[in-house]
Chain A
C-alpha cells in the first residue's frame, strides 16, 4: 500500500489540527482537573512535608529514623508505581475494609499519591533549608522563653522559606509534570484528553503537541510566579 507523499503528510497533519477545536471543551475540563490535582497535592504535600521535616529534627531517634525511611522510600520508588499502588491497592483495601467491592476513584488515588511523593521531596528541601537557618536564631528564641511550636512557626519557618524557595519552585514544576501520570489510571486531565483524542481520531501528533503546549504554559506560569515571589520575599540571611 502506497503511503501519501511527504507533502500530503504535512497537509494531513494540519487538517487534523482543525479536529483539535472539537476537543476544546474537553481540554478545558482536563485543564481544570490538572490544576485541581496540582493545587491540592501541592498544598497537602507542603503541609505534610513541613511536618516531616520538623519531625526529622526530633530528639527521639525512632521518629527521626522513621522520617528518614519515609523520604528515602518515596525518593527511591517511581511516581507511576506509587500512583498504581494507591489506585489498585486502594480499591483492594477499601473493599476489604468495607466488606464489598468499592472502587477508589482516580482523582482520590492520584491526589493521595502525588501528595505523598511531593511531601517526600519537600521534606528534604525544608530540612536542608532549616539547617541553613543560623543556629543562633534558635538559641535566642529559647533564651526568650518561646514554646517549642512558637519557635518553629514564628522564627524558624519564616526564615526557612526564602532559602527553600528556588528548590521548592523546581519541585512545583515537577509536580505539574507528574500530574500527567494520573492519566494512566484514567483521570480526565490534560494528558488523558489528548490521549483519548489521539486514539479516537487517530491523530496523535496534533493532540500530544497541544498537550505539550498546555503543560509548557503551565510550567512557564509557575516559573514566572515564583520569580515574582522570590523578588518580593528575598530576605537577606540573618547572620549570627
Chain B
C-alpha cells in the first residue's frame, strides 16, 4: 500500500467532487420535478393517462443507464438534424448530455416510487378530502402528496444514493468527475488499489452523509406525526 500515491489520490480526486455532486443533484432535482405530474398520471385509473407513462418508465427502467447515456451522447449527436438545431450548444457538451440521460432515468424510477406511495395513501384520506369539498388538484397537493413523500421516503433514499453512484458512469463520456479522475490517475501511477479505494471512500462518505440526512428527516417527520405523549402527572 503506497501511502504517497494514496495521498496524491486524496488531493487529486476531490477535484471531481464538484462535477459529481452537480450531476447528481441537478439530475435528481429535475427528475423529481418531472416525476410529480407523471406519478399522478401513472397512478390514475384512466388507462389513457397511465399507459404512456408506463411505456416511458418501463423503457427507462428496463434498459441499462450506460446504453441510455451512449444513445443520448453519441446516438443523438450523430443526427445532423440535432446538430443544426438550437439544441446543439447544449447537446454538444458531455455534461448536459449526461444530465439529460440521468434526469430521464431518475424521473422514470422516481415516478414508480411516488406511484407506489400514492397508491399506498389510505383511501379514507382521499374520501375525507372529497367530502370536505376539496378539488382533485387540491386533494393531490395538500393531502396525497405530503403523505406520499413520507411513505415513499425510504425507497427514495435508495434512488438518491443510486444516482450518486450512477454519476460515475459520466466518466465513460469523457467527463472528469471522481471516477474519471481516478481512471486517469491509475493510468499514470499504475496503482489501482490506492486510487480506486480512495475514490470508493469518497463515494462512501457521501452515501453515509445522504443516508444520515434522510434518517434525520424521517425522524423529524415521524415526531411531527406522533408528538410525544404529554407528561403524566403523579
Write the residues of chain A forming the contact surface with B, with a CB cutoff of 8 angstroms: 3-4, 6, 8-9, 13, 72-73, 75-82, 84-85, 88-89, 91-93, 173, 177-181, 183-184, 191, 194-195, 198, 202-205, 208-209, 211-212, 215-216, 219-220
Told that A84-B186, A179-B64, A212-B67 touch, could you supply 12 new A-B pairs with CB distance under 8 A?
A3-B80, A9-B81, A77-B203, A77-B204, A82-B200, A181-B66, A205-B79, A208-B74, A212-B63, A216-B58, A216-B59, A219-B62
The 9 A-B residue pairs with the shortest CB-CB distance, nearest first, are A76-B207, A3-B80, A88-B192, A204-B74, A78-B168, A180-B64, A78-B165, A177-B64, A219-B62
Give Cα A75 to B79, complex, Å: 38
Asked if A209 and B207 make an inter-chain contact with CB atoms under 8 angstroms apart, the answer reads no
Give Cα A2 to B74, complex, Å: 20
Give Cα A194 to B63, complex, Å: 14
Q: Which residues of B contact A209 (CB under 8 A)?
A: 71, 75
In the complex, the chain B residue whose C-beta lies closest to that of A4 is B80
| A192 vs chain B, min Cβ distance (A) | 11
Asked if A191 and B67 make an inter-chain contact with CB atoms under 8 angstroms apart, the answer reads yes
Asked if B165 and A79 make an inter-chain contact with CB atoms under 8 angstroms apart, the answer reads yes
Chain B interface, DSSP helix/strand/loop, else mixed: helix
Asked if B71 and A81 make an inter-chain contact with CB atoms under 8 angstroms apart, the answer reads no
Give the tally of cross-chain contacts (CB within 8 A).
Answer: 133
Give Cα A37 to B75, complex, Å: 27
Specify which of A76, A92, A216, A220 is in contact with B203 (CB 8 Å cutoff): A76
User: For chain B residues 17-59, which have a beta carbon within 8 Å of chain A?
Assistant: 58-59
Q: Which residues of A contact B207 (CB under 8 A)?
A: 75-77
Chain A interface, DSSP helix/strand/loop, else mixed: helix
Give Cα A219 to B182, complex, Å: 31
Q: Which residues of B contact A181 (CB under 8 A)?
A: 64, 66
In the complex, the chain B residue whose C-beta lies closest to that of A206 is B75
Give Cα A234 to B169, complex, Å: 37
Known: A89-B192, A181-B66, A208-B71. A3 touches B83 (CB 8 A): yes
Asked if A208 and B80 make an inter-chain contact with CB atoms under 8 angstroms apart, the answer reads no
Specify which of B62, B81, B172, B208 is in contact with A215 (CB 8 Å cutoff): B62
Q: Which residues of B contact A191 (CB under 8 A)?
A: 64, 66-67
B197 CB within 8 Å of chain A? yes
Q: Which residues of A contact B75 (CB under 8 A)?
A: 198, 204-205, 208-209
Asked if B71 and A9 make an inter-chain contact with CB atoms under 8 angstroms apart, the answer reads no
In the complex, the chain A residue whose C-beta lies closest to that of B80 is A3
Q: Which residues of B contact A180 (CB under 8 A)?
A: 64, 66-67
Known: A9-B80, A76-B161, A81-B182. A194 touches B67 (CB 8 A): yes
Asked if B83 and A76 make an inter-chain contact with CB atoms under 8 angstroms apart, the answer reads no
B78 CB within 8 Å of chain A? yes
User: For chain B residues 168-184, which have a beta carbon within 8 Å of chain A?
Assistant: 168-169, 171-172, 179, 182-183
Asked if A81 and B199 make an inter-chain contact with CB atoms under 8 angstroms apart, the answer reads yes
Q: Which residues of A contact B169 (CB under 8 A)?
A: 78, 80
B96 CB within 8 Å of chain A? no
17 pairs, A vs B, C-beta closer than 8 Å: A3-B80, A3-B84, A75-B207, A78-B165, A81-B203, A84-B196, A177-B63, A177-B65, A178-B64, A180-B64, A181-B64, A184-B172, A191-B66, A195-B70, A203-B78, A205-B78, A216-B62
| B98 vs chain A, min Cβ distance (A) | 14
Give Cα A80 to B70, complex, Å: 15
Contact pattern, B 180-221, Cβ under 8 Å of A = 1, otherwise 0: 001100100011110011011001100110000000000000
Q: Which residues of B contact A9 (CB under 8 A)?
A: 79-81
| A101 vs chain B, min Cβ distance (A) | 11
